[in-house]
Chains A and B, each alone.
Chain A
Amino acid sequence: MPDAISLRTTAKSGEAKASSRATLADPRRATRLVLAIFLGPALLVYCGLTAYPAFRTIYDSFFTIEGMDATFVGLANYRDLMGDETFWVAVRNTFIWSFVAPVIDVATGLLLALALYAGVPFARFLRVAWFTPVLLSYVVVAILWMWIYNYDWGVLNVMLRAVGLGDLASSWLGDPNLALAAVIVTHAWKWAGFNMVVCLAAIHSLPKEVLEASDLDNCGWGAKLRYIIVPMLRPTLLSLYILSFIGKMKVFDLVWIMTQGGPLWATETVSTYVYKRAFNWNTFDLGYPSAIATVWFLVVCAAVIILNRVLGSRERLEY
């Protein structure tokens, strides 16, 4: 028996020696302790403030939670959700926004990038200038555009009246038929510069020979765009589309400040509806909004996976 123990300890110390030798020999290995020091804080933050809350939201969605009291209700929240008309309006608006707006975003981005690539003067200045709105917060953008859309003195109506189209002047954010489009335009305004910069970087990284060869062949800009640039930029454009799509599925700030989802739910998005149900209406139940958040979480993940598959993008994504 003692022999066995001593054997085991010697074996262990032998192992320890071997492993310490291995760390010396292979700089790509590190001891558990070192890894824990490097990864520990980040994983702690991730588990405590991202993973745990996410699971808790999913768990909460099976309860009715009023203050400290949680009552188990099973799938009742989800059943209510299926019959909740406002939720479906919000889903419809968010989907319109998420599928249509990215096309506008990517197309403007590409065209702007091409203009800069074609060698217009002041290209550097223009690039920096067009990128500025990306850096403004949604609060700033929302306030600015509320003024631009103002019925009495907003830029848009003032210009329409100035050119004699006064009849077209309208209350852009107050009309249920126009409000969603007005908010979408604002969002596109903010992000155009971002798409432009990404497209420009991608165009610059295209192999020069191909573009030069097309120049020699007297290829016009239209043909160049259609047969060379767009096909070669395909992965970038698709990534941008998906990126923009994800951004729109999450959109909250802009809508919340500009219209609060109104008028008549015309700009209600899923995010604003969750917020309303959780913190704004005096329903005092956190279970139901948790159910909406859970459903939406699954929808976003599924949509991203499907889009990635369908569009066949091999690029890695972000946001």
Chain B
Amino acid sequence: MAAFLAAASGRAPLPRLFSRGILALVLGVYTIYQLGPFLWLATMSVRTTAEISADPYAWPSPMHLDQFRTAWVDSDFATYFWNSTMVVVGAVAVLTFIGAAAAHALARYRFRGNRLIYGILFSSIIFPPQITLISLYQILVDYNLYNSLFGLALVYISLQLPLTVYLLEGFFARIPQDLFDAAKMDGYGDLEIFWRIVLPVGMPAIATTLILNFIQLWNEFLFAVVLITDPDKRTLPIGIRAFMGDHFQDIGMIATGVMISVIPVIVVYVFFSEKLIRGMTAGAIK
């Protein structure tokens, strides 16, 4: 028995070390697989197309940071960037506000039809986008909102509304009722309660939905490509695609343009990675 134990303890470290090594190797390779393409893109964005065709995988030297200036000024990426910014910031601001108000009403008040409204909003999350896409195109044409950033922002609000209400309702429902009872006793009206209690207390959840909505709308492609045709009104995703269609060979400049569209997302991610990951997880399964 003792001999067996000794043999076992003597033998154990080697296979364990071996399996640790394998695990580290697999994870290392996997990390390269997940991050590599993006880093490759980053190197290409500061190299000229001529350099890239000579050797696509060389380290950027010298760094052509002026590519960003060229993309920004000469290739209209500044226009696309500001269009995206306007649409997304406007849509997210309105969306957060009306989504929070609706979520508060659904989470806090008892009234007939509460769960029905919640269910209807919630179930539309699974709708395939085509079911509204074609009609939205017709409707926006009817109301002269086709090919306008305002129209696109309106559509974006409707796209993200169910998710926003769903996430915020879950959070607001967990705010203790005592807080509201106390506020009522102090003579707060219903609107004041929303303004002075729900919004401040719910700030972490609101911030999460804000970031989530920002990233999802910043990346949105399908509705933008259908509802915007004017080159001056393109948002970044369709701008990049249009640029790629016209300059298929200009890989360096495409990479720079792509980088311009990715940088805001990466900046947000660097600062709020935990919040974002938590938000997306909460969105998936409650």
Contact = CB atoms under 8 A, between A and B. Distances in A.
Interface in B151-186: 154-155, 157-158, 161-163, 165-166, 177, 180-181, 184
Interface string B111-139: 10000010011001111111111111111
Given A39-B105, A189-B34, A294 B241 contact: no
A221 B36 CA distance: 30
B38 A133 contact: yes
Contacts, number: 272
**Which of B26, B56, B126, B136 is the most central at the interface, judged by chain A CB atoms within 10 Å of its CB?**
B126
Contacts of A131: 273, 277
Nearest to A134: B280
Contacts of B121: 42, 46
Nearest to A42: B102
A144 B35 CA distance: 12
Contacts of A41: 98, 101-102
Tell me if B's interface is mostly helix, strand, loop or mixed: helix
B138 to A, nearest CB: 7
B161 A29 contact: no
A272 to B, nearest CB: 10
B255 to A, nearest CB: 8
A81 interface: no
A317 B158 CA distance: 19
Contacts of A278: 133-134, 137
A180 interface: no
A246 B283 CA distance: 14
A300 B126 contact: yes
B101 A239 contact: no
Interface string A171-211: 00000000000000000010011100110011000000000
A289 B111 contact: no
A120 B138 contact: no
B261 A236 contact: no
**Which of A27, A315, A317 is the most central at the interface, judged by chain B CB atoms within 10 Å of its CB?**
A27
